[in-house]
Amino acid sequence: MLCMVRGDLSVLNIGHAIVASKTGTLTGIIVVLMSLIKLQFKYKLPIFMFIGCFIGDLITHDTHYGYWWTEAAITALVASSLSFALTFTPAGKKIEEFLKWKILNYQKIQEYNYQQRIF
């Protein structure tokens, strides 16, 4: 939303929030689908975030300034920069460890429940 209003937070309204939620939802869907691609490289998530956000922004609304692609490119750059920062900082590593722990525990619980049904 920050790119949509050129940094002027005083003009934000519910319309901006709706457009931003549509863009975010579409971006999330695109990134999740792209993450199914079996590629292993260090900058996968930030690159996928840029592509997904760029496409999502282009599809959901017209640009508010510049060429037809300017706002989408700026929004995608900001989103991928945040993704990059989160992925490669200690906070990002902690989040990744936490999520792996949660997934592993969930799998163990599911396995235990399955074994209980068998016996």
Proportion of the chain above pLDDT 70, given as a percent? 94
Domain ranges of the chain: 1-87, 89-119
Answer whether residue 12 shows pLDDT above 90: no
pLDDT for 50 beyond 90: yes
Q: Residue 1 has what pLDDT?
A: 67
The pair of structure tokens assigned to 80 is 């991928």
* pLDDT score of 118: 65
Q: In the predicted model, what is the mean pLDDT of residues 63-70?
A: 83
In whole angstroms, how far apart are CA 69 and each of 9, 38, 74?
Answer: 22, 29, 9
Tell me how far the alpha carbon of residue 81 is from its chain's centroid. Answer: 11
pTM of the model: 0.66
pLDDT reading at 77 higher than 90: yes
